[in-house]
Structure 1
């Protein structure tokens, strides 16, 4: 009630004349009113969208307060909530034997820390560095928020153009993704900054059989729930990703597409599931994590996984048998 009084009173002050004549202090008071209202709304169930709208009104009509706290509140509200029982376990530099016996053989996901700290990319790579090392190079880019959307397409452009159109420009639904299997062969300077994880030596294939992939895109990029035919080490270099995993034993509850082309992809939107259309999805047992720079996620073969970038993100994945 107090926050509404503050907002009503300051709204009148913001609208008494031309915008340039509005005292900035009144704009700050309006932002405080939005902050107080948001703190009250955080206790309400299913109010996230309305709460973010109040924050946006404070950012549009108010002025920055408390080190731009309304932006930070939005980031918290948009961060996925992961219950403790659903968190993927985390290990620091396990031995090859420990990883093999406890995760690879039983096919259990795990987040590994401390195994890529020595990689040059962890210190060198940034958007500016990618411009410098490869800005003029032409690469394939996926256009659209996810490959299951009708408007999804592919095109060729330079890395500079990709960064300008999809990384620097932050229009909603303006999503492009650099998903490249040949990037490190095409640009060997980048390949010199990474290494094949030692744990891949536990596999059956040769080093030449390991596929190295680059995944570079803006906040909000989504890989729909899908499964791959090989083991996967996903290394996070820049930014954070929210990742949702579940066992291949859950396949029946995930409603894979019936077409041959998308048979490895679920029809369910993980974060906004239609439980009327896909009722079995409610029974699914899953694990999740927020993968941060320097962390490596082991995704066992055919494990279902959904990925959403929380920031501008660059990841490297290693597919191995």
Structure 2
């Protein structure tokens, strides 16, 4: 997105007050971890050498991928953020706002917390400059998300797992009070659908408008999953812009192409404009604990999250579209054949879309609860309850995970 007016912007620098004050101490910590080459290159990067800045980013990137993610030292995550800021500042100075924004997003996605405020401030400034210079396109009117992936009730059972919607349907409560939630569901560890409590969310109207989504987030880089699901051999991850992701959703035909899914990503920590469109439900304060994570689940019809369980209380808010969800209680864990590998021990070996009854004979007769979660509804999933999720239309969902002080009543 280079501009002819780049020369006019040469002195319009990105300010990085945290980086300026913390860099001596951060470089000292990097030196103590043997990062002498990084420190040498960072001095040149700070002086305006783009090749040196890219070199520091590459060095930090290699450290981030030197072993399991949990074993990466926090100082190298901060080093990656530092390098991203140096690179972005130089792209910004040259008027190449698209590249600057891409690098800043990588800093937010992969970097540490030390320089996060600088990264967000830089994103805000770069985005504003990019908007000023973007050529105005012809107005095309409002594009409704998911218009081509309409939901047809008569066709649903043909794509859902065996016995779907024939057993116990998850109960639904309208505008459930916090006291009612605590007494009737939280304390007993029982799932429930809650309706009529998202009407005040700006997301309920804004996220149905493709033009709005492209305007506030289109140039941002996001990680997506491509393939049937994370247990499949064809599964992979990519980094694309949010506009490219939306285009894939609009053109997706899950019968001939692999679906692209923005799944379990802390999108709202990265893109603050979208965070303003939602609110934390009061139910997430039940138990006196704290919110653990707030994640986005955006994708076309046909995306599947295979049968698994999570350690926290979960409110799944269905903002756009519809999803089929099946739940099994935690007491049935052994009958659901969990993986023995540590990384996948919360996932079931059973593919509900194609159950191998010889290999998994116990599954066929297990009792479960299921539902179709409609647009504007929330589903409470207690800790360690197994759940399978399939999008029936283009779907934008938000999950709120939280823990309570005294441990889970359901665990």
Instruction: Give the structure-1-normalised TM-score.
Output: 0.73
**TM-superposed deviation, 1:85:** 4.3
Q: Which residue of the other structure, out of 203, 213, 217, is the alignment partner of 2:295?
A: 213
Q: Does 1:118 align with 2:200?
A: yes
Q: After TM superposition, which residue ranges in structure 1, 4 or more long, deviate above 6 angstroms?
A: none
CA distance in 1, matches of 2:386, 2:227: 21
Partner of 2:348: 266
CA distance in 2, matches of 1:185, 1:120: 17
Name the SS of the counterpart of 1:269 in structure 2: coil
Given that 2:263 and 2:296 are in contact with CA atoms closer than 8 Å, whether structure 1 keeps it comes out as: yes
Partner of 1:235: 317
CA distance in 1, matches of 2:376, 2:321: 10
Q: Which residue of the other structure, out of 241, 244, 248, is the alignment partner of 1:165?
A: 248
Structure 1's 136 and 180: CA in aligned 2 closer, same or farther, altered over 3 A? farther
- Structure 2, unmatched stretches of 5+, are 1-150, 404-411
CA distance in 1, matches of 2:257, 2:343: 25
Query: Once the two structures are superposed, what CA deviation does each residue of 1:139-192 show, in whole Å capped at 9, x if it has no partner?
Result: 011111100011211111101111223442325242111124321121111111
Partner of 1:191: 275
Structure 1's 73 and 255: CA in aligned 2 closer, same or farther, altered over 3 A? closer
CA distance in 1, matches of 2:386, 2:167: 18
Query: Once the two structures are superposed, what CA deviation does each residue of 1:51-107 show, in whole Å capped at 9, x if it has no partner?
Result: xxxxxxxxxxxxxxxxxxxx9586355364744641000001122111111100100
- Structure 1, unmatched stretches of 5+, are 1-70
Name the SS of the counterpart of 1:75 in structure 2: helix
CA distance in 2, matches of 1:272, 1:216: 24
Partner of 1:155: 238
CA distance in 1, matches of 2:340, 2:220: 38
Structure 1's 165 and 79: CA in aligned 2 closer, same or farther, altered over 3 A? closer
**TM-superposed deviation, 1:211:** 1.0
Structure 1's 291 and 73: CA in aligned 2 closer, same or farther, altered over 3 A? closer
Given that 1:180 and 1:214 are in contact with CA atoms closer than 8 Å, whether structure 2 keeps it comes out as: yes
Partner of 2:379: 297
Given that 2:321 and 2:395 are in contact with CA atoms closer than 8 Å, whether structure 1 keeps it comes out as: yes
Partner of 1:202: 286
Query: Once the two structures are superposed, what CA deviation does each residue of 1:247-272 show, in whole Å capped at 9, x if it has no partner?
Result: 01001110011111111000111232
**TM-superposed deviation, 1:218:** 0.8
Name the SS of the counterpart of 2:301 in structure 1: coil
CA distance in 2, matches of 1:191, 1:163: 18
Given that 1:239 and 1:312 are in contact with CA atoms closer than 8 Å, whether structure 2 keeps it comes out as: yes
Structure 1's 186 and 73: CA in aligned 2 closer, same or farther, altered over 3 A? closer
For these two proteins, the number of residue pairs brought into alignment is 249
Name the SS of the counterpart of 1:234 in structure 2: strand
CA distance in 2, matches of 1:278, 1:249: 17
Partner of 1:249: 331
Higher relative contact order (CA 8 A, sep 6+): 1
Structure 1's 174 and 200: CA in aligned 2 closer, same or farther, altered over 3 A? same
Q: Does 1:280 align with 2:367?
A: no
Q: Does 1:143 align with 2:223?
A: no
Structure 1's 73 and 231: CA in aligned 2 closer, same or farther, altered over 3 A? closer
Given that 2:265 and 2:297 are in contact with CA atoms closer than 8 Å, whether structure 1 keeps it comes out as: no
Query: Once the two structures are superposed, what CA deviation does each residue of 1:118-142 show, in whole Å capped at 9, x if it has no partner?
Result: 1111111123321121111000111
Name the SS of the counterpart of 1:297 in structure 2: strand
Instruction: Give the structure-2-normalised TM-score.
Output: 0.58
Q: RMSD of the TM alignment (CA)? A: 1.9
CA distance in 1, matches of 2:265, 2:327: 23
**TM-superposed deviation, 1:108:** 0.4
